[in-house]
Amino acid sequence: MYVDWNLNRNNYRLYEVTVNANRDYISHIDLGQIPSETYGLASELGKLYGVTPTKLYEINLTDFSFLDIVENPSSDDLWFGATGLHEAVNFKLITYNSIFDAEQDINQLEPQESFTVNDTHTRTLFVKIINNQTGNYTLVKVNLNVYSYPNVNPPLDLISCYSVKDGLNKFNLNEVSVQMQKNISDNLVFNYFTSDPEMVVNSMPLPSLYQSTRLVERIFVSVENTLSGCTSYFKFNLVNISIPSLVAMSSYNNPLFLDKCYIDRNNLGYFQLDEIANDVILITDEHQLFFYSSFFDAENNVNPLDSTYYLNEDLKEIFVKVVNEAGCYEITNFFLSMDCIDNNYSLINLKFPKFFTPNNDGINDSWNISGVSKKVQQESLVVIFNRYGKKMASFNPYNSNGWDGTYRGKQLPNSDYWFSFSTSSGYSTNGHFTLKR
According to the model, what pLDDT value does residue 75 have? 80
| Residue 298 phi, psi dihedral angles, 5° rounding | -65, -45
Distance CA 175, CA 153 (A): 13
Distance CA 367, CA 163 (A): 58
For the chain, the structural domain boundaries read 2-71, 91-145, 158-242, 262-342, 355-435
CATH number of 355-435: 2.60.40
According to the model, what pLDDT value does residue 120 have? 62
According to the model, what pLDDT value does residue 118 have? 63
Mapped to the 3 state alphabet, what secondary structure does the chain carry?
Answer: CEEEEEEECCEEEEEEEEECCCCCEEEEEEEEECCCCCCEEEEECCEEEEECCCEEEEEECCCCEEEEEEECCCCCCCCCCCCCCCCCCCEEEEEECCHHHHHHCCCCECCCCCCCCCCCCEEEEEEEEEECCCCCEEEEEEEEECCCCCCECCCCCEEEEECCCCCCCEEECHHHHHHHECCCCCCEEEEEECCCCCCCCCCCCCCCEEECCCCEEEEEEEEEECCCCCEEEEEEEEEEEECCCECCCCCCCCCCECCCCEECCCCCEEEEHHHHHHHHECCCCCEEEEEECCHHHHHHCCCCECCEEECCCCEEEEEEEEEECCCCEEEEEEEEEHHHHHCCCCCCCCECCCEECCCCCCCCCCECCECCCHHHHHCEEEEEECCCCCEEEEECCCCCCCECCEECCEECCCEEEEEEEEECCCCEEEEEEEECC
Q: Do domains 158-242 and 355-435 have the same CATH topology?
A: yes
According to the model, what pLDDT value does residue 86 have? 64
Residue type for position 428:
S
pTM of the model: 0.53
What number of residues does the chain have? 437
CATH top-level class of 158-242: mainly beta
Per residue of the chain (437 residues), what is the pLDDT tens digit?
888 888 877 788 898 888 887 888 888 888 889 998 888 898 877 789 999 999 999 999 888 999 999 999 888 888 888 777 766 567 789 999 999 999 999 999 987 777 676 656 788 899 998 888 788 888 999 988 888 889 999 999 999 998 877 888 899 999 999 999 999 888 999 999 999 998 887 889 999 999 998 999 999 999 999 888 889 999 999 999 989 999 999 998 899 999 888 888 788 889 999 999 999 998 877 889 999 999 999 999 999 999 999 998 999 999 999 999 888 999 999 999 988 888 878 788 899 999 999 999 999 999 999 988 888 899 899 999 999 999 999 999 999 999 999 999 999 999 999 999 999 888 899 999 999 98
